[in-house]
C-alpha cells in the first residue's frame, strides 16, 4: 500500500476566479448564495435542489444581481460533472454530507459542507481519506469560528491574556421545537426524525469549534477521549401533544434523544472541555463559549471577562477595591469590557466589520467565513479549518451516542491527523 499523503496545511493552486456550485439551496445555502454574490472574484455557475421553488429562488437571486443565470439541477451528480466548477457548497440534510462531499472531491472539486460534516465515525474517516487521496480541500463551514466574539477571544488566547489554557465549555443550546411544524419542506421536515433515531449530541460543532481553535486542537494538542450522558427525552413529545391536533403524525413519533446531552472531553495534554447540546428545552440561546486559563477567563452569553493581569484588569480591581494576584473574583464592568474589545478585536473582523454587517448572516460571521474562504483559494493559502477539524469536531456526535448508550463509558476519539497534530502549525491571527 502506498504511503498516505497528509492534508495538513494543504495548499491548492491559486484560483483567479472561484467558480462555485451549490448543492442544496434551501434555508442555509440560500444565504450563502446571497453572500457569495457580494464577494469579488466569485462566479456562481450551477445550483442544485430537489425542491423546485428553492431552486428557482436561488437562480433568481443571481439574475436579480445582474449575474448570468446559473444552471439548475435536481441531480447533484450532473452538477459535479461540469468542468466549470472549482468548489461545491453542500447544504443538505446531514446524511447526505459525506457522500456528496466525497463525490465532489472525486470529481476534482473542493468540498465545503455544512455542520456537522458527518454523523458516523466511518463517515468522518471517509472524508479524511478522500481529502488526503485527492489533495483537495474539505472544510466544514463552522461559521461560529468567525463571529466577532470568537475571533477576539482567539486573539486574546494567542496573546496569552488568559495564561495557560486549562478548560473550555462549549454548547449549542437553542430551542428549535418550532421546526417540528415544517412538514413537507424545511429543516424540520427531516431533522425531526433524527430525534427519534439517535440519543446523544446531534450538533456539537457550533460551540466546540471555537474552543478547539483556542486550545490548538489538532495543532499541538488533540482530543483524547470523552464520556457522555443524556437526560430523559421529554420535551418534544410534550410539545407535539400541545401543538398538534389529535391524530397528527407528529404526535405518534417516539422521541428517544435526551433533551440535553452533556459530554466531558479530555485532551492528550490534559485539558478538559464540557460540551453540551439541547434543542428543545425552554431556555435562552447560548453557545457558552467559555475559556479558562491560569490568568483569567472569558465566558459568553452574556459576554463576561475576569483577568488578573494588568492593564485591563487593573482598573477593574481598583474600582472594586481589591488587588493582588488571585483577586479576579468579579466580572469586569461595562467600561472594562469595552476596553477589552478596543484592545483585542481581531484584525480580520475590524477589516470586514462594515461589509459583514451589511451583507453577512448571523451577525456577520457568515460573510467573514465566506470572504476568508475565497481569499485563501484565490491566494493559494491554507484554509483556517481543514478536513481533520471537520472530522474531529463532528465525531463528538456519534461517540456521544455510543457513550450514552453504555452508562457514560469512556470513548477514545480517533486521531484523524495520524500524529500530524504534533507538528501542525496553530492557526495564527490573520490580517
User: 80: which strand partners?
Assistant: none
What DSSP state is assigned to residue 360? -
In 10 A of CB 97, how many CB atoms?
A: 27
Per-residue pLDDT of the chain (431 residues; tens, 9 = 90+): 346 799 999 999 999 999 999 999 998 899 999 999 999 999 999 999 999 999 999 999 999 999 999 999 999 999 999 999 999 999 999 999 999 999 999 999 999 999 999 999 999 999 999 999 999 999 999 999 999 999 999 999 999 999 999 999 999 999 999 999 999 999 999 999 999 999 999 999 999 999 999 999 999 999 999 999 999 999 999 999 999 999 999 999 999 999 999 999 999 999 999 999 999 999 999 999 999 999 999 999 999 999 995 655 555 555 554 444 556 889 999 999 999 999 999 999 999 999 999 988 899 999 999 999 999 999 999 999 999 999 999 999 999 999 999 999 999 999 999 999 999 999 999 88
pTM: 0.95
Checking phi first, is residue 5 left (phi over 0); if not, alpha (psi -120 to 50) or beta? beta
Q: Nearest CA to 89 among 30, 155, 23, 143?
A: 23
Peptide bond into 311 cis (omega under 30): yes
User: Which residue's entry shows cell 472531491?
Assistant: 105
d(CA 209, CA 193): 25
- Say how far apart CA 5 and CA 402 lie, in whole Å: 30
User: Vertex 55, ends 52 and 59: CA angle to 5°?
Assistant: 140
The sheet carrying 110-113 orders its strands as 71-73, 42-48, 18-23, 87-90, 110-113, 138-140
Integer Cα distance of 310 and 328 in angstroms = 11
List beta partners, residue 290: 169
Q: Which domains, ranges and CATH numbers included, belong to the chain?
A: 18-140 (3.40.50.720), 145-346+387-412 (3.30.360.10)
pLDDT for residue 323: 43
What's the rounded Cα separation, in Å, for the pair 130 and 349? 33
Annotate 200-221 with DSSP letters as a single string: S-S--HHHHHHHHHHTTBTTTB
How far apart are the C-alpha atoms of 281 and 239, rounded to whole Å? 10
Q: CA 39 to CA 89: how far, in whole Å? A: 15
266: buried, middle or exposed (CB in 10 Å: 19+, 13-18, 0-12)?
A: middle
Instruction: Using CA atoms of 38, 42, 46, 48 in order, give the dihedral in degrees to the nearest 10.
Output: -50
Amino acid at each position: 500500500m502506498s504511503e498516505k499523503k497528509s492534508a495538513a496545511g494543504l495548499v491548492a493552486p491559486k484560483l483567479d476566479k472561484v467558480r462555485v456550485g451549490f448543492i442544496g439551496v434551501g434555508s442555509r445555502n440560500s444565504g450563502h448564495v446571497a453572500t457569495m454574490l457580494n464577494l469579488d472574484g466569485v462566479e456562481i455557475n450551477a445550483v442544485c435542489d430537489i425542491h423546485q421553488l428553492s431552486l428557482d429562488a436561488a437562480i433568481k437571486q443571481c439574475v436579480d444581481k445582474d449575474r448570468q443565470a446559473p444552471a439548475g439541477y435536481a441531480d447533484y451528480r450532473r452538477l459535479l460533472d461540469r468542468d466549470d466548477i472549482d468548489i461545491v457548497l453542500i447544504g443538505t440534510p446531514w446524511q447526505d454530507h459525506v457522500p456528496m462531499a466525497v463525490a465532489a472531491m472525486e470529481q476534482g472539486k473542493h468540498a465545503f459542507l455544512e455542520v456537522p460534516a458527518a454523523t458516523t465515525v466511518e463517515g468522518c474517516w471517509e472524508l479524511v481519506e478522500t481529502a488526503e487521496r485527492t489533495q483537495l480541500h474539505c472544510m466544514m463551514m463552522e461559521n461560529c469560528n468567525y463571529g466577532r466574539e470568537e475571533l477576539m477571544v482567539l486573539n486574546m488566547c494567542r496573546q496569552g491574556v488568559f495564561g495557560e489554557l486549562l478548560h473550555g465549555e462549549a454548547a449549542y443550546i437553542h430551542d428549535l421545537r418550532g421546526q417540528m411544524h415544517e412538514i413537507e419542506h424545511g429543516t424540520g421536515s427531516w431533522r425531526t426524525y433524527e430525534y427519534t433515531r439517535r440519543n446523544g449530541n446531534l450538533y456539537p460543532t457550533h460551540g466546540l469549534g471555537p474552543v478547539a481553535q483556542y486550545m490548538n486542537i489538532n495543532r499541538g494538542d488533540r482530543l483524547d477521549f470523552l464520556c457522555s450522558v443524556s437526560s430523559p427525552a421529554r420535551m418534544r413529545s410534550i410539545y407535539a401533544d400541545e401543538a398538534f391536533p389529535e391524530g397528527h403524525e407528529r404526535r405518534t413519533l417516539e422521541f428517544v434523544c435526551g433533551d440535553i446531552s452533556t459530554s466531558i472531553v479530555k485532551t492528550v495534554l490534559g485539558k478538559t472541555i464540557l460540551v453540551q447540546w439541547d434543542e428543545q428545552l425552554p431556555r435562552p440561546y447560548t453557545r457558552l463559549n467559555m475559556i479558562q486559563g491560569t490568568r483569567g477567563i472569558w465566558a459568553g452569553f452574556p459576554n463576561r471577562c475576569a483577568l488578573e493581569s494588568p492593564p485591563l484588569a487593573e482598573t477593574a480591581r481598583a474600582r472594586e477595591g481589591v488587588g493582588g494576584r488571585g483577586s479576579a473574583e468579579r466580572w469586569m464592568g461595562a467600561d472594562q469590557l469595552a476596553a477589552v474589545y478596543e484592545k483585542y478585536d481581531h484584525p480580520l473582523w475590524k477589516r470586514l466589520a462594515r461589509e459583514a454587517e451589511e451583507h453577512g448572516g448571523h451577525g456577520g460571521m457568515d460573510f467573514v467565513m465566506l470572504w476568508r474562504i475565497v481569499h485563501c483559494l484565490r491566494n493559494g493559502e491554507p484554509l483556517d479549518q481543514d478536513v481533520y477539524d471537520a472530522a474531529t469536531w463532528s465525531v463528538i456526535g456519534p461517540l456521544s451516542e455510543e457513550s450514552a448508550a453504555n452508562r457514560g463509558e469512556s470513548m477514545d476519539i480517533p486521531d484523524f491527523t495520524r500524529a500530524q497534530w504534533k507538528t501542525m502549525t496553530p492557526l495564527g491571527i490573520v490580517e
